[in-house]
Amino acid sequence: MSFSLLRAPLRSAALTSARSVPRAQFRSAFRKYSTTPPPPAQKSSSKTLLLSLGAAAGVGAVAFYYYGDSREAVTALKSGVQAAKAKTNFVPTKEDYQKVYNKIATLLDADDYDDGSYGPVLVRLAWHSSGTYDKDTKTGGSNYATMRFESEASHGANNGLNIARNLLEQVKNEFDWISYGDLWTLAGVTAIQEMAGPKIPWRAGRIDGQAADATPDGRLPDATQGSDHLRKIFGRMGFNDQEIVALSGAHALGRCHPDRSGFTGPWTFSPTTLTNAYYQLLFDETWQWKKWNGPKQLEDKKTKSLMMLPTDYVLVTDKSFKKYAKAYAQDQDLFFKDFSAAVSRLFELGVPTQQFVTPEPWIMKSVDEQEEEKK
Ligand code: HEM
């Protein structure tokens, strides 16, 4: 496929995607958004549960518990939140979550940020908050939103995600009843759907955990490595080869930032629109190692403006991965179907089924659909 075809569906801001954003802009981004201070860990040596529902005066306000064991504290917190909700007679419905979706959607476009959208960094936040899951120990995942705590926020892989977390604070302020895990994953769903991606089935029910639930460093993938590493990391979450390849297609969106990961540049010419262009470019372009004073990455020979990480490139060098990557390059509908299923599962990692508010996932409506309905 030619580049001009790939450019076709883009919003104007995306056309400037190949430019590299000046470092000064990154610096100002960092000045503007500092890391959210983590709530203090609440622990006590005595196993007494101190419930101060007085603090739960507002809708869904936080109740404070002092409990020795973090799991028990979470359970206590959950029932406390439910008690607070019962007190205020407020139980959010799908329509309430749709309001949150709509609010997030209003925050996506920003002419002065990257390629004109916060969508990609919100997708990365949702993925990094979920991708810490370990199926053997049943720890990590999106349930407890542990990236709120400095011990996890400071992992190298999470550099720059303070921008996404801070952006969502204004949504949390307006809808204070929503848990951070639900807010971050719903933001990922909103961003994907609003950037022309497929519907991502989503359920509410995550609860805010404690600092003790934060995961150790090293659970997220290292972009400098190869297929064995990808299988190890994604296998730990419970994903197979096909799902690894489908999930990687998220790199049609966004870009690498030297100040965050050390890598630079976008993967596609349409970094604010989800398409299967990532796979097409992997096959159609000639990729060569970039000669620069930075980590090993590939660039397209023709324009030298696109990039691939070593972990992206293994999708065409590993025989098993290649089969799926080729199928997605040839069929965007197939990519969307498999991407939707894998992302929906990714965002639910670590959440006990009984915690979800509904047995069946919801399909949140896009802003366009809601506009259509009003006509
Ligand atoms: C396969 C293993 C993966 C590796 C090694 C990897 C690595 C990276 C790196 C190094 C960046 C650049 C960060 C920056 O400098 O801002 C990045 C960005 C991104 N990643 Fe991944 N990633 C992987 C999988 C995924 C998955 C599974 C998703 C989502 C389903 C995802 C979504 C994104 C998005 C949307 C961005 C762009 C963020 C932005 O523009 O700010 N990645 N990834």
Task: Output the pLDDT for position 90.
Answer: 86
Q: Which of 165, 256, 273 to mutate to test the pocket of ligand 1 (most atoms within 8 A of CB)?
A: 256
CA 144 – CA 194 distance, rounded (Å): 26
Lowest-pLDDT range, 21-30, 229-238, 242-251, 348-357? 21-30
pLDDT in tens, 314-363: 999 999 999 999 999 999 999 999 999 999 999 999 999 999 999 999 99
Q: Which atom of ligand 1 is least distant from the CA of 311?
A: 5
Q: How far is the CA of 251 from the centre of ligand 1 (A)?
A: 6
Q: Is the CB of 128 under 6 A from ligand 1?
A: no
More confident residue, 151 or 72: 151
pLDDT exceeds cutoff 80 at 250 = yes
Which positions are catalytic?
128, 267
- Region 151-161: mean pLDDT is 98
Q: Is the CB of 127 under 6 A from ligand 1?
A: yes
For atom 29 of ligand 1, the residue with the nearest CA is: 250
For 3-32+92-374, which CATH class? mainly alpha
Q: How far is the CA of 36 from the centre of ligand 1 (A)?
A: 21
Task: Output the pLDDT for position 38.
Answer: 37
Task: Output the pLDDT for position 373.
Answer: 95
Q: Which atom of ligand 1 is least distant from the CA of 247?
A: 27
Q: Which atom of ligand 1 is least distant from the CA of 160?
A: 16
Q: Is the CB of 343 under 6 A from ligand 1?
A: yes
Do residues 158 and 128 touch, judged by C-beta distance below 8 A?
yes
Question: pLDDT-based confidence at 192, cuts 50/70/90?
Answer: very high
Q: How far is the CA of 82 from the centre of ligand 1 (A)?
A: 35
Tell me the average pLDDT of the chain.
Answer: 84
Contacts (Cβ under 8 Å, ≥6 apart) of 182: 97, 204, 205, 206
pLDDT in tens, 28-71: 332 232 333 334 333 333 333 333 333 333 333 333 222 334 44
Q: How far is the CA of 41 from the centre of ligand 1 (A)?
A: 29
Question: pLDDT-based confidence at 89, cuts 50/70/90?
Answer: confident
More confident residue, 159 or 30: 159
- Region 287-316: mean pLDDT is 98
Task: Output the pLDDT for position 29.
Answer: 32
Task: Output the pLDDT for position 51.
Answer: 33
Q: Which atom of ligand 1 is least distant from the CA of 257?
A: 15
- Beta partners for residue 134, in sequence order: 139
Cα distances (Å, whole numbers) of residue 366 to 15, 204, 253, 299: 24, 17, 18, 34
Q: Is the CB of 201 under 6 A from ligand 1?
A: no
Q: How far is the CA of 124 from the centre of ligand 1 (A)?
A: 6
pLDDT in tens, 105-135: 999 999 999 999 999 999 999 999 999 999 9
Q: Which atom of ligand 1 is least distant from the CA of 312?
A: 1
For atom 1 of ligand 1, the residue with the nearest CA is: 248
Percent of the chain with pLDDT over 70: 77
pLDDT exceeds cutoff 80 at 23 = no
pLDDT exceeds cutoff 70 at 99 = yes
Percent of the chain with pLDDT over 90: 76
Q: Is the CB of 122 under 6 A from ligand 1?
A: no
Task: Output the pLDDT for position 22.
Answer: 34
CA 103 – CA 97 distance, rounded (Å): 10
Q: How far is the CA of 135 from the centre of ligand 1 (A)?
A: 21
Task: Output the pLDDT for position 83.
Answer: 52
Q: Which of 123, 124, 338 to mutate to test the pocket of ligand 1 (most atoms within 8 A of CB)?
A: 124
Q: Which of 251, 307, 328, 349 to mutate to test the pocket of ligand 1 (most atoms within 8 A of CB)?
A: 251
Q: Is the CB of 261 under 6 A from ligand 1?
A: yes
